[in-house]
Amino acid sequence: MTDDDGALSLDALARLAHEFRSPLTAILGFAELLRHRLDGAIPPEAQSHLDDLTVAAARLRRLADEMVALGAPDPTPPDPMLADPTPPAAAAPLAPIVQVALRQAAPAAAARGARIAGSVAAGLAARADAARLAQALDALIDNAIRHGRAGGEVAVIARAGEAPGEVMIEVADDGPGLAVDAVAEALRPYGRPNGAAPGAPPGGLGLGIAREIVAEQGGRLDIVTAPGQGFCARMVLPEGAAP
């Protein structure tokens, strides 16, 4: 079940992902049933929560499909009937991606006593896959909430890039920050950078996953941090034509 270095094998990951698929399919099915039966009969806020639930479950289901395919002896693409029905767009508008990410992160932020807020410059779009970009943003926000100051603030800002043809999404917290020479360790899976606060959770996978996704989309992940000055992860992406 594990490789020589103790990591889970692709086969083991595929088995775990397979077990996730059935409950995720049930969640999606019941969410769709509620959508049809209660259409127009529930408050707008509840409808928004239902929409967010559907988006999150569909994303997890798609990831589970990909993991199962990776572990197959003869990898095959996920069943198109079960995949997210929205095809990848050449240009991903940033406003809806940021808005959904903020709503989904609100409970975790509240549990830490943190305030999370965001802003998006009008008309911004990235030349990227919207679902993958949302996955990277979720990972960065989760990292900021977990490693930022309890009771602090997390800011998500999307704006034009510093160079022509670029857009940026940055996630900043007001936590303890890191020395520049500790950033590489923070990007390593479950890394424990020197200078991290005592008792701080390990780095996890979020930063590394976000960096890989952004690179896959033709961009880069910049880190701006210093001890006592918070931590800012900045996704720099090619600009897409606004729809």
pLDDT confidence tier of residue 61, bands split at 50, 70 and 90? confident
Question: pLDDT class for 9, splitting at 50, 70, 90?
Answer: low
Q: Does 225 have pLDDT greater than 50?
A: yes
Model pLDDT for residues 22-55, shown as the tens digit of each residue? 787 788 788 888 777 777 777 888 878 788 888 7
- Band (pLDDT 50/70/90 cuts) for residue 78 is very low
**In whole angstroms, what is the distance from residue 40 CA to residue 172 CA?**
37
User: Do residues 154 and 108 make contact, with C-beta atoms less than 8 angstroms apart?
Assistant: no
Task: Give me the pLDDT at residue 141, please.
Answer: 92
Lowest mean pLDDT among 75-89, 107-121, 128-142, 207-221: 75-89
Q: Which amino acid is at 9?
A: S
Per-residue confidence band for 215, with pLDDT thresholds at 50, 70 and 90: very high
Confidence of residue 6 (pLDDT cuts 50, 70, 90): very low
Annotated domain spans of the chain? 10-71, 92-238
User: Which of 54-68, 119-133, 200-214 tops mean pLDDT?
Assistant: 119-133
Q: What is the mean pLDDT of residues 84-112?
A: 80
Measure the CA–CA gap between 47 and 36, rounded to whole angstroms: 11
Mean pLDDT of 79-87: 43
Percent of the chain at pLDDT exceeding 90: 32
Stretch 103-118: mean pLDDT: 90
Helix (H) or strand (E) holding 221, with range, is: strand 220-225
Question: Which band of pLDDT confidence, cut at 50, 70 and 90, is reported for residue 222?
Answer: very high
pLDDT tier at 72, thresholds 50, 70, 90: low
Pick the more confident residue, 215 or 82. 215
Cβ distance 217 to 129 under 8 Å?
A: yes
Residue 86: per-residue pLDDT: 43
Q: Which of 19-33, 100-114, 180-194 has the lowest mean pLDDT?
A: 180-194
What is 187-207 written as a DSSP string? HSTT---TTPPTTPPP--SHH
Q: Rounded to whole angstroms, how far apart are CA atoms 6 and 16?
A: 16
Q: Between 3.40.50.150, 1.10.10.10, 3.30.565.10, 3.30.465.10, what CATH number should domain 92-238 receive?
A: 3.30.565.10
